[in-house]
Every structure is written in C-alpha cells, then in structure tokens.
Amino acid sequence: MLTLFELTFAKVIVWLPFWPYAKLIATCWLVLPYFSGAAYVYQHFVRPMFVNPQTINVWYVPWGKKEGLHKKEDILTAAEKYIQENGPQAFEKLISRNKETGHKQMSHYSDEDYGYSSW
C-alpha cells in the first residue's frame, strides 16, 4: 500500500524531506505487533468490504418489451425511459422498494470468526 502510494505520487514525494521518516513510522505501525496497526486496518477498512458487500445494479433492461433492446443504453437513458413509460411515482416506488429489500449478498461469516486476541 505504501509502495503504491509512493509510486503514484513520486514527483511530489521527492520534494518532501520528511517522507522517509513518515514511511518508516507508517511501516513500523503496520508491522510491529505492539501497535496492531495491520489488525486495525484490516478490521476497519478491509473486512467490512467483504462482510457487507454492497452491490449496485446499474443496468435496467426492460424484459418483455421488444423495442429498445437493440441498442446499448446507459443508466440515465434507461431511467428517463422508465419514467416516461411508468411515471415518476413508479420510479420513486421502485427506488424505495430496492432500499427496503436491501438486495445485498448474504455473508456466511460472523464477527467472531476472525477475532484477534491480544498478547
């Protein structure tokens, strides 16, 4: 992660005289078990992405309607077409229904599966 950051912003980092010291401190924080930096990064940033994945369906395909399926449509065109065909109230109802049901993938892991014990 530090190397990716360093390679991306290499031209800016050259002008920062304290960069090697900041990199040393960040590496020590991540690596040394006393600070549990890697565990903190995993628990607060990486694991929530896998435990609660949020998928967004951005393609509206009007199944059963013969016209409009021959060309590719982006999401705004599809939304405008849906509003024209069904009205704005139906579009708002569709959005609120998706928010209520959640449409999230289920995870088979519990919070206790990857618990960390202190030394």
Residue 81: inside a domain: yes
Q: What local confidence, expressed as pLDDT, does residue 21 receive?
A: 94
One domain, residues 45 and 61:
no
Q: Which residue, among 34, 35, 33, 50, has the nearest Cα to 104 in the 3D structure?
A: 50
pLDDT by residue (tens digit) across 40-95? Answer: 999 988 888 888 777 666 666 655 555 544 455 567 777 888 888 888 888 888 88
Range of the domain at 68: 54-105
Residue 113: inside a domain: no
Task: State how far the alpha carbon of 71 is from the alpha carbons of 44, 62, 65, in Å.
Answer: 42, 12, 13
One domain, residues 63 and 47:
no
Residue 41: inside a domain: yes
Q: What local confidence, expressed as pLDDT, does residue 105 receive?
A: 47
pLDDT above 60 for 108: no
Q: What local confidence, expressed as pLDDT, does residue 77 receive?
A: 79
One domain, residues 59 and 46:
no
pLDDT above 50 for 23: yes
One domain, residues 27 and 68:
no
Q: What local confidence, expressed as pLDDT, does residue 8 receive?
A: 92
pTM for the full predicted model: 0.41
